[in-house]
Amino acid sequence: MDGQDSRVFDIYEQLNETDIIKTYIKKLDTGATAYVICLTGKMTEGASKLVSEYGLEVLRSDNIESDFRAKEIQARSQSRGLDAA
């Protein structure tokens, strides 16, 4: 894919187990990095456990921009480290 990562974004008002499973299946089907955006920051205990178990990341709507800037910087740093190896 021309060296670029694919990303999947699912946006929910609140999170429950079904929402997390849907996103995880999408991640498996596409091979993309999956992000769950929770507008309220509220999730059930079961959803929280599945997020950890499935290796997903939940972003809150109030910090999406700063999270992605940090991830982009980290990805570039890692890319440069791999290129130098």
Domains and CATH numbers, the chain: 7-84 (3.40.50.10050)
What pLDDT does residue 85 have? 47
What pLDDT does residue 77 have? 81
Contact (Cβ atoms closer than 8 angstroms) between residue 45 and residue 69: no
What pLDDT does residue 60 have? 80
Q: Give SS3 for 75.
A: helix
What does the alpha-carbon distance between residue 60 and residue 41 come to, in Å, rounded to a whole number?
6
pTM (2 d.p.): 0.70
For residue 20, pLDDT beyond 90: yes
